[in-house]
Structure 1
Amino acid sequence: MDDLALTAWMTALRHQIHAQPELALHEVKTTALIKKALTDLGIRLVDYPGATGVVAEIGHGEPKVALRADIDALPLQEKSGLPFASKIDGRMHACGHDFHTAALLGGARILKAHEAELPGTVRLIFQPGEEGHVGAKEMLSHDVLHGVQAIAGFHNMPELPVGTLAVKSGPLMASNDNFDVQINGTGAHAAMPERSADPIVTLGQLITALQTIRSRNIAPDAALVLTIGEIRAGHTFNVIPDTASFKGTIRTFNAANRQLAKDRFYEIVQATVKAYQQTVAIKWDQGPSCVNNDATLTDLITAACQGAFKIVPAHPANADDDFALYQEQIPGFYGFLGSGGTGTLHQPNYSCSDAGLIYGARFHWLAAQTLLAAVAKNKLLATDRAS
């Protein structure tokens, strides 16, 4: 199949997926579409017990490597104006996971055509639930990496031109920790604050105080972001409420700073609340660690892709990706692929170009060959991976 025909095939699949977006761990129609496309190609499906998501294999024997794409959408109203825009209110493929899915299917088609030449097995992982960092955890609980010795994937970037591959060894995407805090005080008439233990005052102090984690505990040249994204308190103008709460996120690229930020967060919140004679409940959601590219794999894949892509340095992203959970187990590479679109990730006007799909398919073909060769030659060492 030539590039034009392969692009047309991937484009049709992508538009189908884009028009029917499904949220994390509810990707039933998407899962069925992927299975049908793979089965039609004669690619064998691997028994996977999860309700959504697909695992398949091409080739035979050892070594065994993996390619991964995520398949879920976001709870967002689409405003792209595309002719194949979402047909479901409040849902949109605003992160390009439809692009990722179609590109991995295209890569699978190339791999299947060259199956006899493969010196091992390529496992295809179509992962549900990347948004909310639940999908990789779910797949790993079902031993999806059993026998796999290395893994690769990419994320599309609409601000990068089609044909561009951005690469970086080591930390590429930030770790993600989310917090949900409820301050429990004592309400009263707004005109009688002396009879209250006002949780809104405490919340106000914390909004400022928590920023000192970044400004006074983390070195100026180290990246860390602490954002409070939601505040809830009260219901009217003349009543001090009993409770106030807030939610937010912390992103960083360093494991020690990640732990330090968490420790200081608890110390500041608990001490401040106690000073105002109130109590607090903190819910901490520890998300993925930092996406951390294996040094050897980065060099090998970069070299393999030199002729097919314009290679540029990748700028680290404060966004997270649960691809990191696979890299905690085996050496892995994750790149940023130019998709030449509009808007940016997670925006309602986001779009990406179908012209980028052929490059996604080529990436998977080249990455699979590179991983197989690297594992066969024992080029991957555990010391290449950061802790």
Structure 2
Amino acid sequence: MVATTLVSDELDQYMVQQFKQFHRHPELCDKEEWTTAKIADELHKMAVPILDFPIHSGLVAQIGPGSGPTIALRADIDALPLQEETDLSYKSAIPGAAHACGHDFHIAALLGAAKLLKDQEAHLTGNIRFIFEPGEERHVGAREMIHAGILKDVVAISGIHNMPTIPVGTVGMKIGKLVASNDNFDVTITGVGSHAAMPQTGRDPIVAVANTIMTLQTIVSRNISPSDRLVLTVGAIHGGHTNNVIPESAGFKGTIRTFSDADRKLAKQRFYEIVNATAVAFGQTATITWDQGPAPVNNSKTITNLIANQARQFMNVVDAIPSNADDDFAEYEQLVPGCYAFMGSKGQANLHHPDFIANPEGLKYAAKFHEQAALALLTHFNQQDKEK
């Protein structure tokens, strides 16, 4: 049954106001200074203590008695390097940066949850740690924060991502793997430049790049089982400057996403084999830069069931459709059990589009979800401690 009142009108208005402010001031990976200061200011107003960790941007705060289990709630805070193309009154004021993935929504919802839980602090049977993570879009934030020690004493973690394909008031949840791993590649093929009318005097890297890109697609079609999921996308090609010159070098970059450790390993192996062998076949050399991102998000059965049962009391819970997107929330789940859910934010465009808009009507559901997840997990782990 869905409750009619989720949060007070005052809290709802507060979250919408915060959401709009963060939307106006997007900041890119490792440059979230204003965002971090703004979050800190709001937490200070709530009298929520900020913990001292050696992190450059982002922050971690905590409430609770100091004893008992510690539950973490996480929101990412960075924006994307693209130009917003909306007519919102609160559209991005920063050229070339936009919250086109809805991290502004995530910040506002977690601040709302902090308010809800701070009001209940005297009755908490454990601690709740609020993680405002920088650098998620370049999958460096979680690793930096883990290295700083922010998971110390944490027994479970919960997080959300707004999902514009899901209606407001609905949350998508799934046990096991929900979003894919992410490996990024950047390849440069070096040949010999020449006059475009005399290709026999050179070694054309553009032709080699074209052949390499086409052959790489056989990894999906001929090396991976049709029943598995793997995406290999080349998102950028570079090479040459004019129509009548064959350049010295050309290249391309892209990403590989999958849900299987074995497929991930095989795809990387075949990628290197194909790129290097094709370069040799064309009398050229290849340089590969490989960026290994996070593993798939892999939700704990116990944690996900606990939170889903709680969420059903106030919103619709549906089976989440796995996504080939990635999220470095997976880094936390490799160390502690967790649940990552898709929060409905029905909008006009999908994530990472210049005209993406996260619907602020979903904030009250997101904040309530955070609150109830934390309370349910505290109850669960306290009960576990009693039974030991």
TM bucket normalised to smaller: over 0.9
Deviations 1:166-186 (A, max 9, x none): 001111011000000011111
Residue 130 of structure 1, aligned match among 129, 132, 136: 136
Residue 374 of structure 1, aligned match among 376, 380, 384: 380
Match of 2:38 in 1: 33
Residue 233 of structure 1, aligned match among 215, 236, 239: 239
Match of 1:213 in 2: 219
Q: Distance in 2 between matches of 1:378 and 1:255?
A: 32
Superposed displacement of residue 2, structure 1? 5.0
Superposed displacement of residue 353, structure 1? 1.8
Contact 2:7 2:368 in 1 (8 A): no
Match of 1:55 in 2: 60
For 1:150-189, list aligned pairs within 5 A: 150-189=156-195
Q: Distance in 2 between matches of 1:231 and 1:134?
A: 25
Deviations 1:238-290 (A, max 9, x none): 22111111101000011110011000000111111112221111000001110
The amino acid of 1:293's aligned partner reads: N
Q: Distance in 2 between matches of 1:221 and 1:5?
A: 49
Match of 1:65 in 2: 71
For 1:326-345, list aligned pairs within 5 A: 326-345=332-351
Deviations 1:201-258 (A, max 9, x none): 2111111100000000100010000001111111122221111111010000111100
The amino acid of 1:255's aligned partner reads: D
Unaligned runs of 5+ in 2: 1-5
Residue 17 of structure 2, aligned match among 12, 15, 21: 12
Q: Distance in 2 between matches of 1:13 and 1:171?
A: 32
Superposed displacement of residue 191, structure 1? 1.9
Q: Distance in 2 between matches of 1:238 and 1:251?
A: 37
Any idea what SS the aligned residue of 2:381 has?
helix
Q: Distance in 2 between matches of 1:76 and 1:374?
A: 42
Q: Distance in 2 between matches of 1:100 and 1:194?
A: 56
Superposed displacement of residue 159, structure 1? 2.1
The amino acid of 1:54's aligned partner reads: L
Q: Distance in 2 between matches of 1:230 and 1:349?
A: 21
Superposed displacement of residue 49, structure 1? 2.2
The amino acid of 2:33's aligned partner reads: V
The amino acid of 1:52's aligned partner reads: S
Contact 1:150 1:375 in 2 (8 A): no
Any idea what SS the aligned residue of 2:343 has?
strand
Match of 1:383 in 2: none
Match of 1:202 in 2: 208
Superposed displacement of residue 360, structure 1? 0.8
Match of 1:23 in 2: 28
For 1:257-272, list aligned pairs within 5 A: 257-272=263-278
Match of 1:382 in 2: none
Any idea what SS the aligned residue of 1:256 has?
helix
Contact 1:151 1:371 in 2 (8 A): no
Q: Distance in 1 between matches of 2:188 and 2:380?
A: 50
After superposing the two structures, state which structure 1 stretch, 248-257 or 194-203, moved more. 194-203
Structure 1 runs of 4+ with >6 Å offset:
none
The amino acid of 1:251's aligned partner reads: R
Any idea what SS the aligned residue of 1:149 has?
strand
Superposed displacement of residue 162, structure 1? 0.9
Any idea what SS the aligned residue of 2:238 has?
strand
Deviations 1:128-178 (A, max 9, x none): 111111111111110110111110000001221111010011110110000
1:278 is aligned to 2:284:
yes
Any idea what SS the aligned residue of 1:182 has?
strand
Deviations 1:324-365 (A, max 9, x none): 100111101000000122211111111122211111110111
Q: TM-score, normalised by structure 1?
A: 0.96
The amino acid of 2:86's aligned partner reads: S
Q: Distance in 2 between matches of 1:15 and 1:21?
A: 11
Q: Distance in 2 between matches of 1:375 and 1:276?
A: 61
Match of 1:385 in 2: none
Residues 278 and 150 of structure 1, relative CA distance in 2, 3 Å threshold:
same
1:346 is aligned to 2:371:
no
Q: TM-score, normalised by structure 2?
A: 0.95
The amino acid of 1:16's aligned partner reads: Q
Aligned length: 379
The amino acid of 2:22's aligned partner reads: I
Contact 2:7 2:364 in 1 (8 A): no
Any idea what SS the aligned residue of 1:153 has?
strand
Contact 1:162 1:338 in 2 (8 A): yes
The amino acid of 1:278's aligned partner reads: Q
Q: Distance in 1 between matches of 2:292 and 2:273?
A: 17
Contact 2:15 2:112 in 1 (8 A): yes
Match of 1:361 in 2: 367
Superposed displacement of residue 123, structure 1? 0.5
Contact 2:53 2:149 in 1 (8 A): no
